[in-house]
Chains A and B, each alone.
Chain A
Amino acid sequence: MAETIHDVIIIGAGPAGLGAGLYTARDRLDTLILEKFMPGGQINNTDRIENYPGFEKIDGPGLIENMHKQVESFGARIQSGADVDRLERLDNGHLAVHTGKDTYVARAVILAPGSSYRKLGVPGEDEFRNAGAGVSYCGTCDAPFFREKAVVSVGGGNTALEETLHLAKYASKVTLIHRRDEFRAEKVLVEELLAKANEPNSNLVIRYDTVATAIEGKGKVQSVKLRNVKTNEGESYPCDGVFIFVGMVPNTDFLKGFVELTDVGFIKCDCAYLRTSVPGVFAAGDCRIGAAMQLVTAVADGVNAAMQLKQYFRDPAWWNMPVSDMLSPGGW
């Protein structure tokens, strides 16, 4: 068993984890941040952030690099390549965090594991993805491989629209498939998308009320089966690649049996103070119920958890106090 007892271990060094770490480190709490890959998570995949207050436009990796340096400058330690596979609450109330070969112990844990792309769940998807044969979940990564080729993108949220616009810079034709007749993405993005689609001879085509039901081809993607949900008409639509942006799923498999999760894997917590079913364990960011899945709200969650943690350290009984008894802002 590890000898050092950290004040707090934060699992995940994305916006939520780094937001938390900034505040705990500035409180001079011994802070260890464990990160499966390298700091950033999903936000590393975007070169275009326009909704982080105070920054007109910033790229994900750049923002994360700043956060990373800032958090470390106050004394938090970030360990990359640390894949947490199990947690347990010890008899003395401390929390043990296990990676493949190491165990770390802390007085409190902030879970900030983030989320990953959701699969479409249609025949052909896994097969072509695993073979690297034309199914992608990252437009910024793979758009350059589809220069002068026809691609289909699927989705209707911010990511789908941003990535579709990015793809249109490379592909000869991009067809955006959306299951509804309006997009849930920010209106600013919708306007930009529609303006692009309405240009004369635009290479961007939008198909509303349409779902993709299968991905087909011999050895590589050659077409997508589409179905109009209103008319029920189907067709085989030729393309060289399929880009899927249909939402996110929380990275919480490793927490099964430790904290309470919803059926689809979100961590259950009270959304005011972010307390989970296990005393001393908070949830922050995309992983929790009710998450807005935004960069700003992830950071805010991390900060909130870091603030609430102090109440728990002052009085462990605070953990079980109903939110309604504590409604004065700022706690104590």
Chain B
Amino acid sequence: MAAGKTIDVTDADFATEVLESDVPVVVDFWAPWCGPCRMAGPVLEKVADEYDGRAKVCKVNIDDERQVATQYGIMSIPTLFVFDDGQLVDQITGITPNFEADLKKKLDAALATK
């Protein structure tokens, strides 16, 4: 996997990248026309870098990858899912006031079960 960077995931490789991952995965459902989604960008890059090797951060562009977004019933973007061992364990809807801290807390909780 790309070291310390976010990974663009498609309908086709969602299962291998996310569900079959050995480490916890943050999945960001986003779209280019969504202001808050783009605002979250630098924070997600930072988290991907800080958790390099321990967790990964994947991005699903819902305009292009409709199947996954529909499958998970996305009704708001950005939506961030935390997956661990193929299971959806936690989520954040939208940009919360303490977004970076909130996201890390959820990721740390998933890592603590290892």
Contacts and interface: CB of A to CB of B under 8 A. Distances in A.
Given A132-B74, A141-B76, A141-B77, A61 B38 contact: yes
A132 B75 contact: yes
A228 interface: no
A72 interface: no
A220 B38 CA distance: 26
Contact of B76 (A36, A45, A81, A136): A136
B39 A134 contact: no
Interface string A239-260: 0010000000001010000000
A102 to B, nearest CB: 12
B75 A61 contact: no
Given A40-B39, A44-B39, A131-B93, A145 B100 contact: no
A83 B101 contact: yes
B1 interface: no
A253 B97 CA distance: 9
B79 interface: yes
B5 to A, nearest CB: 14
B42 A132 contact: no
Contact of B75 (A36, A46, A145): A145
B93 A81 contact: no
A61 B41 CA distance: 14
A13 B77 CA distance: 22
B36 A138 contact: yes
A142 B101 contact: no
B34 A140 contact: yes
A131 B74 CA distance: 10
A133 B75 contact: yes
Q: Classify chain B's interface size.
A: 20 to 34
Main secondary structure of the interface of B (DSSP, over half): mixed
B74 A141 contact: no
A75 interface: no
A129 interface: yes
B34 A141 contact: yes
A55 to B, nearest CB: 18
A205 B67 CA distance: 33
A4 to B, nearest CB: 21
Contacts of B38: 38, 44, 61
Contacts of B41: 37-38
A133 B33 CA distance: 21
A129 B75 contact: no
Interface in B52-91: 73-79, 91
Contacts of B43: 36-37, 81
A81 B91 contact: no
Interface string A17-50: 0000000000000000000111011001111000
Nearest to B29: A132
Most A CB atoms within 10 A — which of B31, B36, B45? B36
A47 B93 CA distance: 21
A141 B95 CA distance: 12
B104 to A, nearest CB: 9
A175 B76 CA distance: 19
Given A137-B94, A141-B31, 6 more contacts: A36-B99, A37-B95, A130-B93, A141-B78, A142-B76, A253-B97
Interface of B: 31, 33-43, 45-46, 73-79, 91-95, 97-101
26 contacts: A36-B99, A37-B39, A37-B40, A37-B41, A40-B35, A40-B39, A44-B36, A45-B36, A81-B100, A100-B100, A130-B93, A131-B91, A131-B93, A132-B75, A134-B75, A135-B76, A138-B34, A138-B36, A138-B76, A141-B35, A141-B76, A141-B77, A141-B94, A142-B75, A145-B76, A251-B97
